[in-house]
Structure 1
Amino acid sequence: MASYEALGLVETFGLVFALEAADAMCKASNVELEGYANVASGYITVLVRGDVGACTAAVDAGVAAVEAMEDANVYSSIVIARPHQDIDKIIKRYELSSLVAE
């Protein structure tokens, strides 16, 4: 895994809204889609990595895309600059490579 300066997350309810957020996030700036987490009862968090500015732009775009959809809610969003290395222990569980059979 490459070293990045920031982690960006958007949490919403439902796969359609999470996919819309992920698409907008990846198109908005130079970030890498790290994965997603279906945390509980349909809440889905999309995770991206990149530099701080790129993650900020991506999260802003993801939030705006979801909020533009009818009956959609963004429950939370955050950009974590320079996340502690131990955060990777949690994120590895939700990496796309571990969630999708290749």
Structure 2
Amino acid sequence: MGMSEALGLIETFGLVYVLEAADAMIKAADVDLVGYENTASGYISVLVRGDVGACKAAVEAGVAAVKKLGEDGLYSHVVIPSPHRDLSKITALYSLDALLGENETV
């Protein structure tokens, strides 16, 4: 993954919240769904990439969607406008391509 694009991330508590967030994010702006990470204790993060404005709009839409379901579902969110290229070492581990295999689709 090239790191010239911004990253948008939302962390929620539970699958329903993260699916709602991801759906709202990719519908609201021209972003690509990078992947997700299911961490301990039920926290799940979703990552998108695109230009800075699109990532900001996507994260705002995702946060609003989660809040509609309940305030307790949202844990954190951030937009990284110009991520360092070394962050790709982390994000690559959680990309959909890595999880599904590069040639597989859902």
Aligned to 1:25: 25
TM-score of the superposition, structure 2-length normalised? 0.89
Partner of 1:90: 90
Which is strand-richer, 1 or 2? 1
The superposition leaves residues 41-81 of structure 1 with CA deviations (integer Å, 9 ceiling, x where unpaired) of 11000000000000000000000000001464211000001
In structure 1, list runs of 5 or more residues that go unmatched. none
The letter of the residue matching 1:46 is V
Report the alpha carbon displacement of residue 4 of structure 1 after superposing the two structures with TM. Answer: 3.8
* Structure with greater proportional helix content: 2
- Unpaired stretches in structure 2, ≥5 consecutive residues: none
Query: Aligned equivalents of 1:14 and 1:100: distance in 2?
Result: 21
Q: What's the Cα RMSD here?
A: 1.4
- What is the TM-score with the length of structure 1 in the denominator? 0.93
Give the structure 1 partner of residue 77 of structure 2.
77
